[in-house]
């Protein structure tokens, strides 16, 4: 598989994709929250689609493109979406944010028209236990405006 | 974590052969793995045959002659929803309410059937569209009606080494699906109901109702079906009572049996068409309350 554009080899195909990304590759933006697909903290893109990396066998990602929050932008070079999360102070404890940003990035890449409802639906698989959803949604909507009127 | 052995056959024939292989006596098929990775790997390290790498896999949805819709059992259900070929409304609505976007990008129709939960979201729509499953094994292919496959909670009549290849749905005029859960996303159904019928004027024909999470399997509801001859409030109220003869709910961690019985009656009553007295305002208030 390719992770954030770089070919990766030598992992256990029967391991969870989550463990390969965090422990094998050191991508700590991929968080394990619940480990049963309910919190969305471990969300990554698999060929552009958001998935819970705790519920994917690493071998099932063979030959496919995996993108984590680190692949969207770096601290020195934030993506426009990540920049909006900073500008909106769209985080409290921050644990859920990498997964939220990945789900939001998939929505912005796919949706022709972005609305508050569509953002809430797109983020429905990501739990924020600080319950700071309003700012998360505002940040994604601002990024959508930025996307549509660059 | 030491994972299980995961083989990824590249052809349908190879998948069938590997599942039958003696080396795979402890093996099992896997596709989306969204249940298996949670519940299936605790006691033994099984040998898994992944059904998601087959280059000759069928498309997510195909339209066959006679109005039959053939849906892949191994494609992610989001691919079924996105396919250019339309699917029955009941199944589309169930997919839209299924788990979360992330799970819909992995979970499969075959997995939801084989997992055999009485609360499975995608099964009631299959029951009301007279779904027939296409099964494969080294012994050949066979077709089985959905109701013959569901044996009990977590139990099916699938044979060892057999996997679900596709599901054929028969055309219906009107269909739909509703579920009650603790919240809208990522909620297991406390009660669910799928329906289909044809209408001549106000008279209903070929009524099929299937209820989830109120019996050991998803069940057809023949008493309620017989009572549901039209969508007037009085007739629908009769069906909402008759459906109690079709179910056997239990108390569990999600709800009491009495609640399931009452809530299912409520879902049936909501099938009533709005009457002329119900203005647009009243109707939208009713819908707000229901959502």
pLDDT of amino acid B285 = 45
Identify how many contiguous H helices and E strands chain B contains and give both numbers. Answer: 11, 14
Among A11, A12, A13, A96, the strongest candidate for a mutation testing the B interface, having the largest count of B CBs within 10 A, is: A13
pLDDT tens by residue, chain B, 291 residues = 456 888 999 999 999 998 888 666 677 899 999 998 888 675 565 789 999 999 999 999 999 999 999 999 999 999 999 999 999 999 999 999 999 999 999 999 999 999 999 999 999 999 999 999 999 999 999 999 999 999 999 999 999 889 999 999 999 999 999 999 999 899 999 999 999 999 999 999 999 999 999 999 999 999 999 999 999 999 999 999 999 999 999 999 999 999 999 999 999 999 997 765 554 544 444 444 333
pLDDT of amino acid A63 = 95
pLDDT of amino acid B274 = 74
- CB–CB contacts below 8 A, A to B: 92
pLDDT of amino acid B22 = 60
Q: Within a 10 A sphere around the Cβ of A87, how many other Cβ atoms?
A: 13
Cα–Cα distances (Å) from A69 to A27, A29, A58, A99, B287, in that order, read 9, 6, 18, 7, 39
State how far residue B111 is from chain A, nearest Cα, in angstroms. 14
Fold of B5-50: 3.30.43
State how far residue B151 is from chain A, nearest Cα, in angstroms. 26
* Predicted confidence (pLDDT) at residue A84 exceeds the cutoff of 90: yes
DSSP state of B9: -
Cβ-based neighbours of B123, under 8 Å, separated by 6 or more: B112, B113, B146, B150, B210, B212, B218
> Is residue A149 within 8 Å of residue A123, measured between CB atoms?
no
pLDDT of amino acid A59 = 96
State how far residue A75 is from chain B, nearest Cα, in angstroms. 26
Phi, psi of B236 (to 5 degrees): -65, -35
How does residue A121 score in pLDDT terms, banded at 50, 70 and 90? very high
Residues A1-19, mean pLDDT to the nearest whole number: 96
Structure token pair of residue B137: 């094994």
Q: Do A59 and B37 touch (CB under 8 A)?
A: no
Phi, psi of A3 (to 5 degrees): -115, 120
The domain A2-72 is classified under which CATH number: 3.10.20.30, 3.20.20.220, 1.20.1090.10, 3.30.70.100?
3.10.20.30
- Among A13, A15, A43, select the one facing B102 at the smallest CB separation: A43
- Model pTM above 0.90: yes
Q: Do the domains A2-72 and A80-148 sit in the same CATH topology, yes or no? A: no
State how far residue B72 is from chain A, nearest Cα, in angstroms. 18
Instruction: For the domain covering B61-169, report its CATH number.
Output: 3.30.465.10
Domain with CATH 3.30.390.50 in chain B: 174-279
Residues from A in contact with B at Cβ < 8 Å: 12-16, 19, 36-38, 40, 43, 46, 49-52, 54-60, 62, 103, 106, 121-122, 124-125
Name the closest residue on chain A to residue B32, using Cα atoms.
A56
Residue spans of beta strands (DSSP E) within chain A: 2-3, 6-7, 43-46, 49-52, 65-67
pLDDT of amino acid B24 = 62
The domain B174-279 is classified under which CATH number: 1.10.3720.10, 3.30.390.50, 1.20.1050.10, 3.40.630.30?
3.30.390.50
Domain with CATH 3.30.43 in chain B: 5-50
Domain chopping of chain A, boundaries: 2-72, 80-148
Higher pLDDT, A86 or B289: A86
Burial zone of A112 (CB within 10 Å; 0-12 exposed, 13-18 middle, 19+ buried): exposed
pLDDT of amino acid A98 = 97
Structure token pair of residue B279: 């203005």
Alpha helices for B189-279 (secondary structure H): 222-227, 233-242, 257-269
pLDDT of amino acid B284 = 46
Vertex B267: Cα angle to B71 and B119 (nearest 5):
50
- 3-state helix, strand and coil shares in percent for chain B, rounded to the nearest 5: 35, 25, 40
Locus of tokens 């900073």: A86
Cα A145 to Cα A147: distance, rounded to the nearest angstrom = 5
The CATH superfamily assigned to A80-148 is [2Fe-2S]-binding domain (1.10.150.120)
Residues from B in contact with A at Cβ < 8 Å: 1-6, 8, 30, 32-34, 37-38, 48, 50, 52-53, 76, 78, 99-103, 105-106, 184-186
Angle between helices A97-110 and A133-148 (to 10 degrees): 30
Among A18, A30, A49, A96, the strongest candidate for a mutation testing the B interface, having the largest count of B CBs within 10 A, is: A49
């Amino acid at each position: 598989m390719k992770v954030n554009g770089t070919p990766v080899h030598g992992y256990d195909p029967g391991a969870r994709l989550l463990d390969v990304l965090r422990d094998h590759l050191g991508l700590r933006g991929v968080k394990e929250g619940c480990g049963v697909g309910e919190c969305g903290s471990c969300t990554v893109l698999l060929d552009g689609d958001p998935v819970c990396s705790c519920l994917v066998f690493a071998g099932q990602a063979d030959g496919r493109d995996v993108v984590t929050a680190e692949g969207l932008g770096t601290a020195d070079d934030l993506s426009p979406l990540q920049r909006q999360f900073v500008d909106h102070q769209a985080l409290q404890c921050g644990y859920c944010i990498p997964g939220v940003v990945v789900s939001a990035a998939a929505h912005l890449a796919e949706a022709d028209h972005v609305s508050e409802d569509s953002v809430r639906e797109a983020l429905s698989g990501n739990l924020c236990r600080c319950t700071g959803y309003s700012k998360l949604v505002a940040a994604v909507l601002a990024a959508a405006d930025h996307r549509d009127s660059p | 974590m030491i994972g299980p052995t995961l083989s990824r056959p590249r052809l349908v024939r190879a998948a069938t052969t590997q599942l039958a292989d003696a080396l795979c006596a402890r093996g099992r098929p896997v596709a989306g793995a969204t249940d298996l990775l949670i519940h299936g790997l605790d006691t033994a390290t099984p040998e898994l045959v992944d059904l998601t790498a087959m280059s000759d896999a069928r498309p997510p949805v195909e339209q066959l002659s006679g109005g039959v819709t053939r849906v892949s059992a191994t494609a992610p259900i989001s691919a079924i929803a996105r396919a250019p070929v339309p699917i029955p409304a009941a199944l589309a609505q169930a997919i839209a309410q299924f788990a979360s976007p992330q799970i819909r990008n992995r979970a499969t129709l075959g997995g939801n059937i084989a997992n055999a939960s009485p609360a499975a979201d995608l099964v009631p729509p299959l029951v009301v569209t007279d779904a027939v499953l296409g099964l494969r094994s080294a012994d050949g292919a066979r077709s089985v009606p959905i109701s013959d496959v569901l044996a009990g909670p977590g139990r099916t009549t699938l044979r060892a080494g057999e996997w679900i290849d596709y599901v054929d749905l028969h055309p219906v005029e009107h269909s739909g699906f509703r579920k009650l859960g603790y919240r809208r996303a990522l909620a297991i159904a406390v009660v669910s109901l799928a329906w289909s019928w044809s209408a001549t004027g106000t008279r209903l024909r070929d009524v099929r109702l299937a209820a989830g999470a109120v019996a050991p399997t998803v069940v057809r509801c023949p008493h309620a079906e017989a009572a549901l001859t039209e969508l007037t409030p009085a007739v629908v109220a009769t069906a909402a009572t008759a459906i109690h003869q079709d179910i056997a709910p239990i108390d569990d961690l999600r709800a009491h049996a009495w609640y399931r019985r009452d809530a299912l009656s409520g879902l049936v009553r909501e099938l009533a068409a709005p009457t002329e007295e119900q203005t647009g305002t009243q109707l939208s208030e009713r819908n707000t309350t229901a959502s």
